Amino acid sequence: MIAALGRYLATNAPHLPAALFAIIILHICTTFAAPGLTTSGAYDRLAPTLPLHEMRVLPAVAANSQPLPFLGPDARLAACRFDTREKNVVITASLPAPGWTLALYGPDGGILYAAAGEPAGRLDIAVLLVPEVEQFGGMTPEARGERTRNEPLLRVPVSRGIAVLRAPDYGLAYKAPSDAELKRAVCAPRQR
């Protein structure tokens, strides 16, 4: 078999550059297409369990309640499924200590935005999620006669995704305050 392949390659040496080129093209196409072709990605698994535009504290992760692979009980999570195609979405959350994170994931699992708690103190975050088209072509609030809003405008390159607020496990004594902080996070639609 190997000898036959060797003979084939020897007789078709002029075709090798074409084969190499085709391999490289296929390699690139396969790699770029892989996230979109995955049907068991984090978004696909988590999104059906989450209501739209509502931050929900997920149950403590355990062996029988583990929504995603490699998701451990070392953190408590609150998550919100958002969709900016109809309405803008406002997400507000507090990151009271280091280890706390807020991350927005797109349907392909890619990250859109991330923020982490700082040693210096509490970090309050308020972001307005808008579809990309509005950011470029839409009218500003001032042009529409509305008051200027102070939330930093976050550009979202896709219209759907999941916001995940993560509270690291600081032990039993911190469980109640952590849960309360998670529940305070808001994910709500806002009219354009």
Binding segment for other proteins (CB under 8 A), chosen from 44-52, 83-91, 130-138, 146-154, is 44-52
Residue 19 sits in the site that holds other proteins (CB under 8 A)? yes
Contact 61, 135 (CB under 8 A): no
Residue 109 sits in the site that holds other proteins (CB under 8 A)? yes
* Alpha-carbon span 111 to 128, nearest angstrom: 16
- What is the total count of residues that contact other proteins (CB under 8 A)? 61
Min separation Cβ 73 and other proteins, Å: 5
Q: Return residues touching other proteins (CB under 8 A).
A: 5, 8, 12, 15, 19, 22-27, 29-32, 34-35, 38, 40-42, 44-46, 61-64, 66, 68-75, 98-99, 101, 103, 105, 108-114, 116-119, 162, 164, 166, 168-171, 174
